[in-house]
Amino acid sequence: MFNSYFQFKQFTVWHDKCGMKVGTDGVLLGAWTRVTHSKRILDVGTGTGLVSLMLAQRSDALITAIDIDADAVMQAKENAEKSPWAHRIAVEQHDFTSYQAGALYDTIVCNPPYFIDSLKSPDKKRTTARHTDELTYEDLFKGVALCMESTGEFTMIAPFDVYADLVTLAGKHHLYPIRYLLVITKPGSNPKRVVVTFSFTQQPCDNETLLTEISRHQYSEEYIALTRDYYLNM
């Protein structure tokens, strides 16, 4: 039976109103994004607010979380208000393709929709959350370039097989990969996801590889180390 919430160590994420539920992609993005020096963070397509809550847990930044879906905004607001960081997270309804930032952000994150040609769900909310019709990668990079400080960083997660295309699209907006994490879900398999950070400055790109499970439901030591501050049983 579907569980309407997911309990983390320091906060709870309710996801019964959202098209996309709490999942590994969001957790990876929230855990891997650098926020040591972040002062203003923008979470694009926040959904449940999961990534914003994770970043709030390990930073002192002011966080703006936006989503195009009204129910997702309502849910993210509720989750933020029940968290220890309600005073630092503002949840707002916006279409990122027309979003105008009041001030630039030093950190931007996004767990974007990425199913381009796959069969669409009859659930419109789930379709919007999962498909690139509402927010294309081109739109995403264009918006980031307009909203980010010159020294800022943009971190996103995507299927590994679109990584080369992402780098090409990002380059059109003078955004360049500076670090990435290849995510492998089982030993011997090809990467399934890539978490990548872009900046306006071209520099050598640091690369890491993360194996999430060594066998079914048995997490690797590196995945445990990355997520132990969040998961209850890590």
Task: Give CA separation, 94 vs 45, 49, 59, 91, in Å.
Answer: 9, 14, 24, 10
What are the pLDDT digits (tens) for 170-208?
Answer: 999 999 999 999 999 999 999 999 999 999 999 999 999
* β-bridge pairing 193-199 and 176-184: antiparallel
Indicate if the pLDDT at residue 154 is higher than 60: yes
Nearest to 97 by CA among 58, 160, 139, 145: 139
Task: Please check the confidence at residue 125 and state whether its pLDDT lies above 90.
Answer: no
- What band does 3 get if pLDDT is binned at 50, 70 and 90? confident
Higher pLDDT, 30 or 129: 30
178 assigned to some structural domain: yes
Structural domain contains residue 34? yes
Residue 115 pLDDT exceeds 50: no
Determine the pLDDT at residue 117.
Answer: 41
Beta bridge partners of 113: none
Instruction: Indicate if the pLDDT at residue 17 is higher than 90.
Output: no
- Reference 109, options 65, 159, 57; nearest CA is 65
Is 207 part of a structural domain of the chain?
yes
- Distance from C-alpha of 67 to C-alpha of 94, rounded to nearest angstrom: 6
Residue 190 within any structural domain of the chain: yes
Within-domain flag for 119: no
pTM as predicted: 0.91
Residues 129-138 have a mean pLDDT of 66
CATH of the domain at 31: 3.40.50.150
Phi and psi (nearest 5°) for 159? Answer: -60, 140
Does residue 226 have a pLDDT over 60?
Answer: yes
Structural domain containing residue 88: 5-113+135-228
> 124 lies in a domain?
no
Q: For residues 133 and 190, which has the higher predicted lDDT (pLDDT)?
A: 190
Beta bridge partners of 183: 193, 210
Whether residue 126 lies inside any domain: the answer is no
In the numeric block, which tokens belong to residue 62?
């002011």
Average pLDDT, the chain: 90
Residue 118 located in a structural domain: no
Total domains present in the chain: 1
Q: Which residue has the tokens 């990876």?
A: 28
Average pLDDT over residues 156-170: 96
- Per-residue pLDDT band for 2 (boundaries 50, 70, 90) equals low
pLDDT in tens, 58-83: 999 999 999 999 999 999 999 999 99
DSSP-based three-state secondary structure for 36: coil
